[in-house]
Amino acid sequence: MTILPDQPDLATVDVSGVRRKINIGLLEGDALAPGDWILIHVGFALSKIDESEAKAALEFLESIGQAYADEIDALRESRIE
């Protein structure tokens, strides 16, 4: 994470290997440092979390994606003719 010097409410972070600019203004007062885990939603940092929380959140999101993919596959296989 790199806090932008000319815009202290913005930081550049790594999101699953992609560099993104996010707003960290809601975390004012939290000490942030490179390597911290941050819960992000629509470009805003909502809270600082620990690594186990981050892992659980990522696993949950991946399971939602897999459930969606499974549902699409099931729909494709159940054509009514």
pLDDT tens, position by position, 18-32:
899 999 999 988 888
Distance CA 46, CA 49 (A): 9
- What three-state secondary structure class fits 26? helix
CB within 8 A of 24, min separation 6: which ones? 3, 9, 10, 11, 32, 38, 45
**Mean pLDDT in residue range 49-64:** 90
Length of the chain: 81
Rounded to two decimals, what is the model's pTM? 0.69
pLDDT band, residue 73 (cuts 50/70/90): confident
Distances (CA, A) of 60 to 22, 55, 56: 22, 9, 6
